Structure 1
Amino acid sequence: MNSTSGHDQGITVASGSATGPIVALGEPLSFWGGVDPATGMVIDVHHPAHGALLAGAVVLMPTSRGSCSGSGVLLELALSGRNPAALVFAGPEDTLTLGAIVASEMFGRRIPVIRLSEAAFAILSSARHATITPDGVSADDGRVRIPLAAAADAGLRLSPADRSMLDGKDGIAAQQAMRILVAMASQQGATELLDVTRAHVDGCIYAGPANLVFAEKMEELGARVRIPTTMNAISVDHANWRRQGVAPEFGEPAARLADAYVRMGCQASFTCAPYALPEPPGFGEAIGWSESNAVIFANSVLGARTAKHPDFLDFCIAVTGRAPRAGAFLDEGRRARRGVKVELPEGADSAAWPLVGYLTGLASPDRIPLIRGLAKTQPTRDDLKALCAAFGTTSAAAMLHIEGITPEADGLGGVPEDEVVITREHLAVGWRKLSEGPSDVDLVAIGSPHASLDECRAFATRLGGCPVAATLSVIITAGREVIAAAQADGTLAKLRQSGVEIIPDLCWCSITRPVFPEEAKVVLTNSGKYAHYGPGLSGCAIRLGTLDDCVDAALTGAAPTRLPTWLA
Structure 2
Amino acid sequence: MQHHAGISLLPGTASGPIVVMAEPLSFWGGVDPATGTVIDVHHPSHGVSLAGAVVLMPTSRGSCSGSGVLLELALSGRCPAALIFAGPEDTLTLGAIVAAEMFGRSIPVVRLPEEAFAALASAAEAEIVPDAVLADGGRVQIPLSAAVHGDLQLSTSDRRLLAGDEGIAAQQAMRIVCAMARQQGATALVDVTRAHVDGCIYAGPANLIFAEKMEQLGARTRVPTTMNAISVDHANWRRQGVAPEFGEPAARLADAYVRMGCRPSFTCAPYSLPGPPALGEAIGWSESNAVIFANSVLGARTAKHPDFLDFCIAVSGRAPLAGAFLDEGRRARRAVRVELPEGADSSAWPLIGYLTGLASPDRVPLIKGLAKARPARDDLKALCAAFGTTSAAAMLHIEGITPEADSLGGSPEDEVVITRAALAAGWRHLNDGPAGIDLVAIGSPHASLEECRAVAERLDGHRLAGNLSVIITTGRDVVAAAEAEGTLAGLRRSGVDVVPDLCWCSITRPVFPERAKVVLTNSGKYAHYGPGLSGCTVRLGTFEDCIEAALTGAAPARLPGWLS
The bucket for the TM-score relative to the shorter chain is over 0.9
Task: Report the residue type matching 1:341 in the other structure.
Answer: R
Partner secondary structure for residue 362 of structure 1:
helix
Partner secondary structure for residue 303 of structure 2:
coil
Partner secondary structure for residue 396 of structure 1:
coil
Partner secondary structure for residue 376 of structure 1:
helix
What residue in structure 2 maps to residue 3 of structure 1? 2
What residue in structure 2 maps to residue 395 of structure 1? 391
What residue in structure 1 maps to residue 266 of structure 2? 270
Q: Does 1:307 align with 2:309?
A: no
User: What per-residue deviation string (whole Å, max 9, x for no partner) do you get for residues 19-67 of structure 1?
Assistant: 0000011100000000000000000000000001100000001000000
In structure 2, C-alpha distance between the alignment counterparts of 1:334 and 1:560, rounded to whole Å: 41
In structure 2, C-alpha distance between the alignment counterparts of 1:246 and 1:173, rounded to whole Å: 33
Q: Does 1:21 align with 2:17?
A: yes
In structure 2, C-alpha distance between the alignment counterparts of 1:15 and 1:171, rounded to whole Å: 28
What residue in structure 2 maps to residue 84 of structure 1? 80
Q: Does 1:72 align with 2:71?
A: no
1:399-418 matched pairs, under 5 angstroms:
399-418=395-414
Aligned with residue 222 of structure 1, among 215, 218, 225: 218
Aligned with residue 463 of structure 1, among 449, 456, 459: 459
Q: Does 1:158 align with 2:154?
A: yes
Q: Check conservation: 2:449, 2:482, Cα contact below 8 A.
A: yes
Q: CA deviation at 1:397?
A: 0.3
What residue in structure 2 maps to residue 207 of structure 1? 203
Q: Check conservation: 2:344, 2:373, Cα contact below 8 A.
A: no
Aligned with residue 363 of structure 1, among 355, 359, 366: 359
In structure 2, C-alpha distance between the alignment counterparts of 1:426 and 1:39, rounded to whole Å: 35
Aligned with residue 521 of structure 1, among 517, 532, 546: 517
User: What per-residue deviation string (whole Å, max 9, x for no partner) do you get for residues 116-150 of structure 1?
Assistant: 11111111111110000110000010110000000
Q: CA deviation at 1:393?
A: 0.2
Task: Report the residue type matching 2:434 in the other structure.
Answer: P
1:374-453 matched pairs, under 5 angstroms:
374-453=370-449
User: What per-residue deviation string (whole Å, max 9, x for no partner) do you get for residues 192-235 of structure 1?
Assistant: 11100000000000000000000000000000000000000000
What residue in structure 1 maps to residue 59 of structure 2? 63
User: What per-residue deviation string (whole Å, max 9, x for no partner) do you get for residues 429-462 of structure 1?
Assistant: 1111111110000000000000000000011111
Runs of 4+ in structure 1 deviating by more than 3 angstroms, as ranges, are none
In structure 1, C-alpha distance between the alignment counterparts of 2:291 and 2:321, rounded to whole Å: 16
TM-score computed with the length of structure 2 as normaliser: 1.00
Q: CA deviation at 1:464?
A: 1.6
What residue in structure 1 maps to residue 284 of structure 2? 288
In structure 2, C-alpha distance between the alignment counterparts of 1:498 and 1:514, rounded to whole Å: 21
Partner secondary structure for residue 476 of structure 1:
strand
Q: CA deviation at 1:465?
A: 1.5
In structure 1, C-alpha distance between the alignment counterparts of 2:461 and 2:492, rounded to whole Å: 9
In structure 2, C-alpha distance between the alignment counterparts of 1:188 and 1:437, rounded to whole Å: 42
In structure 2, C-alpha distance between the alignment counterparts of 1:153 and 1:533, rounded to whole Å: 36
Which structure 1 residue ranges, 5 or more long, are not aligned? none
Give aligned pairs, total. Answer: 564
Q: Does 1:191 align with 2:190?
A: no
What residue in structure 1 maps to residue 326 of structure 2? 330
User: What per-residue deviation string (whole Å, max 9, x for no partner) do you get for residues 160-180 of structure 1?
Assistant: 100000000000000000000
Q: Does 1:487 align with 2:483?
A: yes
Task: Report the residue type matching 2:90 in the other structure.
Answer: D
Task: Report the residue type matching 1:465 in the other structure.
Answer: G
What residue in structure 2 maps to residue 178 of structure 1? 174
In structure 2, C-alpha distance between the alignment counterparts of 1:163 and 1:287, rounded to whole Å: 21
User: What per-residue deviation string (whole Å, max 9, x for no partner) do you get for residues 45-93 of structure 1?
Assistant: 0000000110000000100000000000000000000000000000100
- Cα-Cα RMSD: 0.5
In structure 2, C-alpha distance between the alignment counterparts of 1:275 and 1:48, rounded to whole Å: 34
Aligned with residue 565 of structure 1, among 549, 561, 564: 561
User: What per-residue deviation string (whole Å, max 9, x for no partner) do you get for residues 480-515 of structure 1?
Assistant: 000100001110000000110000001000000000
Partner secondary structure for residue 3 of structure 1:
coil
In structure 2, C-alpha distance between the alignment counterparts of 1:553 and 1:153, rounded to whole Å: 56
What residue in structure 2 maps to residue 511 of structure 1? 507
What residue in structure 1 maps to residue 245 of structure 2? 249
Q: CA deviation at 1:387?
A: 0.1
Q: CA deviation at 1:470?
A: 1.9
Q: Does 1:497 align with 2:496?
A: no
Q: Does 1:124 align with 2:123?
A: no
Aligned with residue 137 of structure 1, among 133, 140, 145: 133
Q: CA deviation at 1:268?
A: 0.2
What residue in structure 1 maps to residue 34 of structure 2? 38
User: What per-residue deviation string (whole Å, max 9, x for no partner) do you get for residues 323-361 of structure 1?
Assistant: 000000000000000110000111110000000000000
TM-score computed with the length of structure 1 as normaliser: 0.99
In structure 1, C-alpha distance between the alignment counterparts of 2:488 and 2:271, rounded to whole Å: 22
